[in-house]
Structures are given as structure tokens and as C-alpha cells.
Amino acid sequence: MASHSESIIREPLITGKNITYGQITDDILRPVENMPGKAWWIGFSVASLGALLWVVSISYTFWFGIGSWGLNKTVGWAWDITGFVWWVGIGHAGTLISAVLLLFRQNWRNSINRSAEAMTIFAVICAATYIGAHMGRPWMALYSLPLPNQYGSLWVNFNSPLIWDVFAISTYFSVSLVFWYTGLLPDMASIRDRATGLRRRIYSVASFGWTGSVKTWQRFETVSLILAGLSTPLVLSVHTIVSMDFATSLEPGWHTTIFPPYFVAGAIFSGFAMVQTLLLVTRKVLGLENYITMFHIESMNKIILVTGSVVGVAYITEFFIAYYSGGEYEQYTFLNRFIGPYWWAACMMYGCNVLMTQMMWSKKVRTNIPISWVLSIIVNIGMWFERFVIIVTSLHRDYLPSSWAMFYPTWVDVGVFVGSIGIFFTMFLLFIRVMPSVAIAEVKLLLKSASEQAKKKQIAEGHLEPAHVEFYKDNLIKFDSIDHSEYEKA
Amino acid sequence: MSSTKYILGIFDDPDELMHGIDKLQKNSIPIYDVYTPMPIHGIDAKLGIKDSRLGYAAFMFGCMGGTTIFTLVYYFLAHDWPMNIGGKNFFPIPDFIPVTFEWTVLFASYGMAFTFFFATHLFPGRAPRVMDLRATNDKFVIAIDAKGDVPHEDINTILKEAGAVEVKHNDRKYVSYE
């Protein structure tokens, strides 16, 4: 029930004084119902320029073929698949937050799930563009589907991880989309009922005629829970299958059974880093400090620390197994990461992903917004280099020294990559303009149980263990959105 | 005969709303529906709404998805064009676990979501049947069919006593058609 109060020792999930249900709607819908500010326009202009670069580079690729990329006979996969795996990894946090954290009843997910899910969808779109592009003739993408054809029919090979990947990515995208949109319905209805004219008509269509009656809400919650249950193994399966694209090959450096858990941990790691990159800015620009609090930021940093450490352990294991296997090609591949010409890429990978994230053991770092933001970007850079090292460094020197080669990106490679970041941010910025960036209904659920004002009332009523109250107040010190003077008096 | 179609008790607080439902039910006033900006647990039990059976739908759709893709793969690789890959088995079942799993999840999710949309009459373009526009914002609304035997004045009093901040008599069933 709504009045159920939560234990005092838990940090508040909504801060601020005199927050009402109405104010939550107002605060969250402000960017949707008003003209955007200068920060949004600057961001949008830069992002659209990036998107334009993508259009130019990808058109150039389609016109002249993938010969315009820096690929050669030895390094047949480079920035394209690096970018693909990078984006798919980033696309893991959204569904993880909405599904896994829902099953674990982590209420702090309520205010970050919406934008994280949107981010997932945009990241998977970016990933999918690489798959289309790297085929050279993008219409050939049709042949990855098991469709009847004039060759027999010659069906696609279901023994191949590449085909599993087609199924995994498309299912992941579809299920994330339905999960995201079902959750959006009540909030779209909130916009509809406050709007007039054409806006109302548009949001009326978009909200599917949602009214918020008892039965719809009850069914809605069932659907969310079951979708969460279905998405949890799905999230884990997607990057597992992506990793099998590499793990099942005979290429030294790719021929390793540790890839599935290693890739999944890395995906969650980079996904949360991207959520952090986006939300730290979004909360400031949209004024959502009361809903996305320091507790949320710190929790995400803890997840980044844990998954970063898992990735670190996976790296160490990989090196040990290369040594222990006794296979000289395998050993050379791992040695080559440090003594070969791509030593700097490996340094970026291990330095950014393992060494830098270890800083997050310190609470001061976890609760410092500028440092967290910089670290989240460092993680994203590190994770890009991880994929680059796995793909390019492994490929460029394999069994035959006569075919060893280097990979040099052309401007088209760079343009497609930088452009895809532009596409991603363009979509994200449009999203926060036209859709509620925080799940309004879900945040309202927390107001009476987990908000700062509810806890203040609880303290005022007494009946609480003084030690618990002290503990609670000590925890509030890190919050930047709380008026601390009130607590010192108490 | 008054032209009132629905009497709305509008509450500011979900707990008072629950209180209002109890009071109305004690006085045997049938409740048409309740509209809230967020899911309030416990109303469904009070109004006698049965548990959702969407889980069964999801299960059946999932079984369908898994069976479909597995059958297709069998047809493709074992029946229509068996491929000799290094003399290995034509139908290595472990290789098909990923795609079978993916389609199980895909069918279960979409089947369940569309069953939900169908059963609760949600689809793009449906005219929203809203009785009070604030019910998706900050108000909790109990709707009572005005055709009942209980005098409207009594309903007003009960709602007010339970803590309703406003009682509305709607002449039209839905305001959102305007």
C-alpha cells in the first residue's frame, strides 16, 4: 500500500521539501511542455552535426563500398565490429536496470529506468547500423534471415553464432522496445491530459487511450513483472551470443571459453558508464536533482566498480590461461598486446577499465559528480579499446607471419564512428524533449514511502531507534540536493 | 430526474481514497471504477478484480515461439537441405538452443503485451475514456454510477466524509471526447 513506510536506515529516493504528486508531474514534464533551454539547443546542434557526418560517411561507404574503410585481407574486421560490439554493450544497462533491478525490488531504478531504456534502444539502433554497413552491400542483410530463396532454398546456417546473433540482437531490440513503450503509456497519458489541441491529439494516439483504471493498472503491473522476468535471461543471452561470434573461432585471442561471462560483465560495465555520462548531465540540465539523487549516482558507481572488477579478473584469467595452455600462438597473441605495435591500445584498455575504476573504492570519488562523469567517459573509452584490442590486435598477427599487417582507419571509418555517437545523442536529445525522461507513475509510488519528507515525518513522530536516525542523517551528508542546515539543528 | 451520469469523488491522497472505497462499500454503493495516476495496490482486491491470467498467456506464447523456431530449424537443416559439415550430425540440438531461447522470449513478450493491449482495449488512436483529466496527474478518482438507488446527496456526504477534496457530478460519461 502507498502508506507503507520504509526502514529509516535506507537513504531517501526523492529529496526536497513539500513535494506533491502534482509537483512530480510538473517537474518531470517541464522539458516536454516548455521550449528547451540554451543547453539543449547547443547539445542538439552539435549532435545533429555528428549525425550529419554519419549520413555523409555511411553514404560514401554505400556508394564506393567498404573499400573506403581501412580494412585489408588480414584485418577484415576493425572499427565496424568494434563499434558494433561497443554499442551493443552500451545497450545493456537499460534493460538490466528495468528488468533485473525490478526483480530484485531495487526501488532506486524507478527514476532512472526510463532514460536508460531509451538509451538501450538508441544504442542497439546504432549497433545495427554497423551490421548493415559492414556487409558492404547493405541489401545483403536480407540473406541473414531464413527466407525462401532461388538457391534451393539454401537456408541460413543455424549452427553459426553469426545467425544466433541476428536472432539475439533483433529479439533484444524488439523486447526492449515493447517493455519501454508499455511503461511509457501512463506517462504519455499524463502529457495528453494536460495538453490541448494538436499536442493532445498526438499524445492521445501515442498513449493508446490509457485511463489509469484499476484493472489496467493491475494488468500493467503483471505485464511489467513478467516482461522483467523474460528480459533478465535475455539481457544475459545477448552479449553471451555476441561473444560467441569470437569465442567459437580458431583465431588465437578469440578462441577462449571465458568470453561469455567476460563480455556480459563488460557490457553491463559500459552500459552503466553511459547511463552515468548521460544522467549526470541530464539531471543538471533538466533540474531533476530531487529525483536522480546522489544515492542513485553512488549506486551506479558501485555497479561500475563491481563489473569493472569482474572484467579485471577476466583479463587476468585470460592471461593465465594463455600461459597455462602451452599453445605458442595463443601465448604470442597475449604477449603481442604489450610488445607489439598496438601496445598503446592495450594500455588504454587495461588502464581505463581496470586501473581507473579501482578509484571508485573511495566514497569521495563515488559521490563526486565531476569525477564520476570523467570516469564514466574513461570507462567508455576503455571499453571501446577493449573491443579494438580483441578484434584488431588479435587479427593483425595470427598464424602466418607473411600475412601480418597493420590497420589504418580512413576518414570514413572515423566518420562512421563519430557520426554514430552523433546519431545516438540526437535521438536521446529528441527523446527528452518529447517523452517523459523519468517514469512519472513509478516515481510517484515512492513519494509516501521513500522520500526525504516522508522520512522526516517519521523522525518527527519519534518511535525510532536513535542510532538508526543518526545513521540515516550521516548518510544524507553526501546528498547535494538536500538542505543540510535543517538536519544540523535536529 | 437529474442528468448526472457519474458521480466522481476526487481525492488528494491514496490512503484517503482507500478509506473512501471502504466507506462506499459499507454503505452498499457500487463503485464503477477507480482512476489513479499510479498503481495503488489493494484496490483490485477491494473491487473484486481477479488476478491477471496474462502469465498463462505469456507461457503459451513462449511455448509456441520455441516450438515454431525449433520445428523450422528441423525442417531447414534436417529435412529440406541436410548439410554435411565435416561429417558432423545433421541436427546438433545444442547449436539450436540460442535461437530457440530467443524466439521463446520474443513470442512470450509480444504475445503477452498484445494480449494485454487487446484485453484492456489499448491501441493507438483509441479515444481516451477519461472522467477527470487530473486522474493522470495528481488526483485519485472514484467513479460511481449515478443510476443507483442511493440518493446523490448521500453519496456526496459519504465521499466528503471520507476525505474527498471535491465531488463532481458529470453529465457526460467521459470528458475527453470534447
CATH of the domain at B26: 3.30.70
Is the separation of the CB atoms in A219 and B54 below 8 Å? yes
Could you tell me if residue A340 is inside a domain? yes
Q: In terms of Cα–Cα distance, which of A240, A232, A283 is closest to A265?
A: A240
Name the domain count of chain A: 1
Q: In terms of Cα–Cα distance, which of A31, A21, A142 is closest to A445?
A: A21
What dihedral do alpha carbons A397, A132, B74, A238 form, nearest 10°? 70
Half-sphere exposure of residue A285: CA atoms within 13 angstroms, side-chain side: 19
Task: Indicate the residue of A155, A161, A244 with minimum beta-carbon distance to B76.
Answer: A155
Could you tell me if residue B74 is inside a domain? yes
A interface test, pick of B8, B16, B33, B122 with most A CB neighbours within 10 Å: B122
| Cell numbers placing B72 | 523450422
Could you give the CA distance from residue B7 to residue B157 in angstroms, rounded to a whole number? 12
Q: In terms of Cα–Cα distance, which of A264, A241, A368 is closest to A310?
A: A264
Q: Name the residue range of residue B110's domain.
A: 54-119
Q: What letter does residue A144 receive in the DSSP assignment? A: G
Could you give the CA distance from residue B176 to residue A310 in angstroms, rounded to a whole number? 53
Could you tell me if residue A306 is inside a domain? yes
Q: Are residues B137 and B168 in the same domain?
A: yes
Could you give the CA distance from residue A262 to residue A254 in angstroms, rounded to a whole number? 12
Residue A35: other Cβ atoms inside 10 A: 8
Could you tell me if residue A135 is inside a domain? yes
What are the tens digits of pLDDT across the range A347-374? 999 999 999 999 999 999 999 999 999 9
Three-state secondary structure readout of chain B: CCCCCEEEEEECCHHHHHHHHHHHHHCCCCCCEEECCCCCCCHHHHCCCCCCCHHHHHHHHHHHHHHHHHHHHHHHHHHHCCCCCCCCCCCCHHHHHHHHHHHHHHHHHHHHHHHHHHHCCCCCCCCCCCCCHHHHCCCEEEEEECCCCCCHHHHHHHHHHHCCCEEEEECCCCHHHC
Could you tell me if residue A390 is inside a domain? yes
Chain B residues with CB-CB distance to A163 below 8 A: 99
Q: Does A180 touch chain B (CB under 8 A)?
A: no
C-beta atoms of B113 and A182 within 8 A: yes
Task: Indicate the residue of A158, A227, A237 with minimum beta-carbon distance to B77.
Answer: A158
CB pairs under 8 A between A and B: 205
Q: Are residues B62 and B101 in the same domain?
A: yes
Confidence of residue A43 (pLDDT cuts 50, 70, 90): very high
What are the tens digits of pLDDT across the range A84-118? 999 999 998 888 888 888 888 888 888 898 999 99
C-beta atoms of B37 and A212 within 8 A: yes
Chain B residues with CB-CB distance to A234 below 8 A: 102, 105
| Mean pLDDT of the region B123-150 | 86
To the nearest whole Å, the CA of B150 is away from the closest chain A CA by 23
What are the tens digits of pLDDT across the range A259-286? 999 999 999 999 999 999 999 999 888 8
Q: In terms of Cα–Cα distance, which of A171, A190, A181, A168 is closest to A223?
A: A181
Final residue in a domain of this structure, among B95, B119, B143: B119
- Lowest pLDDT segment from A292-306, A475-489, B42-56: A475-489
To the nearest whole Å, the CA of B163 is away from the closest chain A CA by 16
Write the CB contacts of A119 (distance below 8 Å, at least 6 apart in sequence).
A90, A91, A93, A94, A274, A275, A278, A428
Could you tell me if residue A84 is inside a domain? yes
Could you give the CA distance from residue A422 to residue A318 in angstroms, rounded to a whole number? 34
Could you tell me if residue A154 is inside a domain? no
Name the domain count of chain B: 2
Task: Indicate the residue of B72, B80, B137 with minimum beta-carbon distance to A194.
Answer: B137
C-beta atoms of A214 and B76 within 8 A: no
Q: Are residues B84 and B113 in the same domain?
A: yes
C-beta atoms of B38 and A233 within 8 A: no
Write the CB contacts of B46 (distance below 8 Å, at least 6 apart in sequence).
B18, B21, B22, B25
A150, with CB counted inside 10 A (0-12, 13-18, 19+), is: exposed
- The interface predicted TM-score of the complex, written ipTM, equals 0.92
Chain B residues with CB-CB distance to A177 below 8 A: none
C-beta atoms of B38 and A444 within 8 A: yes
Helix (H) / strand (E) element for A167: namely helix A161-194
More confident residue, B19 or B2: B19
Q: Does A95 touch chain B (CB under 8 A)?
A: no
B58, with CB counted inside 10 A (0-12, 13-18, 19+), is: buried
Final residue in a domain of this structure, among B119, B142, B162: B119
What dihedral do alpha carbons A28, A31, A33, A37 form, nearest 10°? 150
Could you tell me if residue B1 is inside a domain? no
What are the tens digits of pLDDT across the range A415-452? 999 999 999 999 999 999 999 989 999 999 888 888 88
A interface test, pick of B33, B91, B120, B140 with most A CB neighbours within 10 Å: B120
Could you tell me if residue B77 is inside a domain? yes
Q: Coil, strand, or helix at residue A207?
A: coil
Q: Name the residue range of residue A349's domain.
A: 33-141+250-437
The answer, yes or no, to whether residue A321 has pLDDT greater than 60, is: yes
Chain B residues with CB-CB distance to A185 below 8 A: 122
The answer, yes or no, to whether residue A3 has pLDDT greater than 60, is: no
Final residue in a domain of this structure, among B79, B98, B119: B119
Q: Are residues B58 and B106 in the same domain?
A: yes
C-beta atoms of B122 and A222 within 8 A: no
Could you tell me if residue A457 is inside a domain? no
Q: What percent of chain A has pLDDT over 90?
A: 60
Q: What is the pLDDT at residue A385?
A: 95
Q: In terms of Cα–Cα distance, which of A282, A290, A303 is closest to A450?
A: A290
What are the tens digits of pLDDT across the range A171-220? 999 999 999 999 999 999 999 988 888 988 899 999 998 988 999 999 99
Query: φ, ψ for residue B42 (rounded to 5)?
Result: 110, -25
Distance, first Cα to last Cα, chain B: 24
pTM: 0.92
C-beta atoms of A205 and B54 within 8 A: no
Task: Indicate the residue of B36, B72, B80 with minimum beta-carbon distance to A212.
Answer: B36
Q: Does A99 touch chain B (CB under 8 A)?
A: no
Could you give the CA distance from residue B161 to residue A62 in angstroms, rounded to a whole number? 71
Which residue matches cell numbers 597493420? Answer: A406
C-beta atoms of A214 and B92 within 8 A: no
In angstroms, the Cα distances linking A299 to A43, A288, A350 are 27, 17, 23
Task: Indicate the residue of A2, A205, A206 with minimum beta-carbon distance to B40.
Answer: A2
